[in-house]
């Protein structure tokens, strides 16, 4: 499937002179991890994620037509209402990349006013929520002019554009679960954009909780770009990509049957494999901190003594995502508060849950 660019001439004349659109888009947490890519932002293996709800980026895109469009894309970025030059290079690269699919963007001067509902320096990547928010803003503007896009094609293009900003961003557009990357058992799955998980999802997963323990709020030691690159020539790369396919396969039955023990096994194994890949690359990295390991061990012994269906997953950092079903929320929250939050930096954690994706506000 290919995303077709809109003919510039088809849209230029119809573009509004001035206006704005606001979008709120969530973060997502991968259950099977994407780690390793080929140009441009295409995944080496399929991944599946829970779309989140509380951790969001809210972006207002203001646009004003310019008298003589040039090839340069004219924009400024505000973060929490203050000009943020540091964000410009990444957004400039994104806009350059997507220009061939939305050529009309050169007709405007944009102000991209963005803020996150989660603390800026929390160690939570804002690229997934931020890039998906911006992609939806632009597509909403395109749709307001063309007015005739079918919803499926619209969503595919939002996700396709978001992917070009940050790979995992393509999985934030809809929910509750998104698949990105071709998998032979999942019809409609593609490397080009994420789609809603197409098979049966047991009710238990539709209200799953994710409590994020902020173990270390510092800047990441390794950017995900560098991390993905380290999978080129990695001694275990091909086994890892095969394992991701096999784990996706296992999850098909687990998701359909609500098999929480199976879910725990696949999800924790995926998290540890992601970190194992970093530990066995050259150069090698350890992104977990001592408190990450303490929390993991406490989760394991709590599960052993209580039988609670609590498990963890990790991103490319030290923070721990604790996943558990709604019907165990009260008990598990008591455990988290009494036993685990002491290992969070300044005691900080975020309560999130599965959500439905980016929304126009
Ligand atoms: O989207 P990126 O390039 O920041 O990569 C994200 C990679 C992981 O978060 C570690 C895994 C994933 O699938 O989200």
Cα 224 to middle of ligand 1, angstroms: 7
Task: Report the pLDDT value the prediction gives residue 147, as an integer from 0 to 100.
Answer: 79
How far apart are alpha carbons 344 and 111 in whole angstroms? 36
Residue 184: CB partners within 8 Å, gap ≥ 6? none
Task: Report the pLDDT value the prediction gives residue 8, as an integer from 0 to 100.
Answer: 65
How far apart are alpha carbons 326 and 30 in whole angstroms? 19
Task: Report the pLDDT value the prediction gives residue 234, as an integer from 0 to 100.
Answer: 98
Residues with CB under 6 A from ligand 1: 30, 33-35, 47, 125, 127, 166-168, 224, 228, 274, 315-316
Task: Report the pLDDT value the prediction gives residue 177, as an integer from 0 to 100.
Answer: 98
Nearest CA to 354 among 190, 163, 161, 202? 202
What are phi and psi for residue 69, nearest 5 degrees?
Answer: -60, 140
Task: Report the pLDDT value the prediction gives residue 119, as an integer from 0 to 100.
Answer: 77
The CA angle 316-321-323, to the nearest 5 degrees, is: 140
Q: Would you write out the chain's pLDDT as a tens digit for each of its 361 residues?
A: 567 677 666 677 788 999 999 999 999 999 999 999 999 999 999 999 999 999 999 999 999 999 888 888 999 999 999 999 999 999 999 999 999 999 999 999 999 999 999 877 666 778 999 999 999 999 999 999 887 789 999 999 999 999 999 999 999 999 999 999 999 999 999 999 999 999 999 999 999 999 999 999 877 778 888 999 999 999 999 999 999 999 999 999 999 999 999 999 999 999 999 999 999 999 999 999 999 999 999 999 999 999 999 999 999 999 999 999 999 999 999 999 999 999 999 999 999 999 999 999 9
Q: Which of 29, 30, 42 to mutate to test the pocket of ligand 1 (most atoms within 8 A of CB)?
A: 30
Cα 168 to middle of ligand 1, angstroms: 5
Cα 227 to middle of ligand 1, angstroms: 9
What is the arrangement of strands in the sheet containing 320-324, beginning at the earlier edge strand? 311-314, 320-324, 209-213, 349-353
Question: Residue 54's CB: how many other CB atoms inside 10 A?
Answer: 15
- 338 by Cβ neighbours in 10 Å (0-12 / 13-18 / 19+) ranks as exposed
Question: Residue 244's CB: how many other CB atoms inside 10 A?
Answer: 25
Q: Which parts of the chain fold into alpha helices (H)?
A: 8-12, 88-98, 127-146, 151-165, 203-206, 224-229, 237-257, 260-279, 290-306, 329-335
How far apart are alpha carbons 35 and 62 in whole angstroms? 34
CA distances (Å), origin 353, targets 132, 159, 203, 210: 18, 21, 14, 5
Please state whether beta strands 74-79 and 108-116 pair in parallel, antiparallel, or not at all (unpaired).
parallel
Angle between helices 127-146 and 151-165 in degrees, nearest 10: 140
Structural contact between residues 211 and 326, judged by C-beta atoms closer than 8 angstroms: no
Instruction: Reduce the DSSP state of residue 40 to 3 states and report it.
Output: coil
Atom number in ligand 1 closest to CA 128: 1
Residue 4 tokens, joined: 């077709």
Task: Report the pLDDT value the prediction gives residue 11, as an integer from 0 to 100.
Answer: 75
Q: Give, rounded to a whole angstrom, the gap between the first and last alpha carbons of the chain.
A: 30
Atom number in ligand 1 closest to CA 225: 3
Structural contact between residues 168 and 30, judged by C-beta atoms closer than 8 angstroms: yes
Task: Report the pLDDT value the prediction gives residue 110, as an integer from 0 to 100.
Answer: 98
Cα 29 to middle of ligand 1, angstroms: 9
* pTM check: above 0.85: yes
Task: Report the pLDDT value the prediction gives residue 339, as an integer from 0 to 100.
Answer: 98
Torsion over CA of 221, 227, 230 and 232, rounded to 10 degrees? -170
């Amino acid at each position: 499937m290919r995303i077709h660019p809109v003919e510039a001439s088809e849209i230029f004349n119809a573009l509004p002179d001035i206006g704005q659109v606001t979008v709120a888009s969530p973060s997502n947490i991968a259950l099977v991890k994407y780690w390793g890519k080929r140009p441009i932002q295409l995944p080496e293996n399929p991944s599946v994620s829970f779309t989140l709800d509380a951790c969001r980026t809210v972006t207002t895109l203001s646009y004003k037509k310019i008298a003589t469009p040039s090839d340069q894309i004219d924009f400024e970025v505000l973060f929490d209402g203050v000009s943020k030059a540091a964000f410009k290079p990444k957004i400039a690269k994104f806009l350059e990349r997507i220009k061939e699919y939305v050529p009309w963007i050169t007709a405007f001067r944009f102000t991209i006013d963005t803020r996150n509902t989660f603390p800026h320096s929390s160690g939570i990547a804002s690229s997934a929520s931020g890039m998906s928010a911006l992609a939806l803003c632009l597509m909403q503007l395109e749709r307001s002019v063309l007015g005739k896009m079918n919803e499926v094609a619209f969503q595919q293009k939002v996700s396709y554009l978001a992917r070009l900003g940050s790979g995992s961003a393509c999985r934030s557009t809809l929910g509750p679960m998104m698949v990105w990357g071709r998998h032979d058992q999942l019809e409609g799955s593609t490397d080009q954009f994420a789609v809603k998980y197409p098979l049966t999802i047991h009710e238990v997963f539709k209200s799953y909780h994710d409590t994020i323990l902020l173990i270390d709020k510092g800047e990441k030691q390794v950017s995900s770009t560098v991390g993905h690159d380290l999978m080129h020539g990695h001694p275990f790369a091909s086994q890892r990509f095969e394992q991701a396919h096999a784990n996706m396969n296992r999850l098909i039955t687990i998701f359909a049957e609500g098999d929480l023990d199976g879910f725990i096994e696949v999800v924790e194994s995926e998290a540890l494999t992601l970190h194992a890949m970093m530990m066995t690359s050259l150069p090698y990295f350890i992104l977990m901190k001592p408190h990450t390991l303490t929390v993991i061990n406490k989760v394991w012994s709590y599960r052993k003594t209580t039988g609670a269906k609590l498990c963890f997953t990790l991103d490319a950092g030290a923070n721990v995502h604790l996943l558990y079903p709604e019907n165990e929320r009260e008990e598990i929250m008591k455990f988290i508060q009494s036993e685990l939050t002491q290992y969070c930096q300044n005691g900080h954690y975020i309560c999130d849950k599965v959500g439905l994706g980016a929304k126009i506000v």
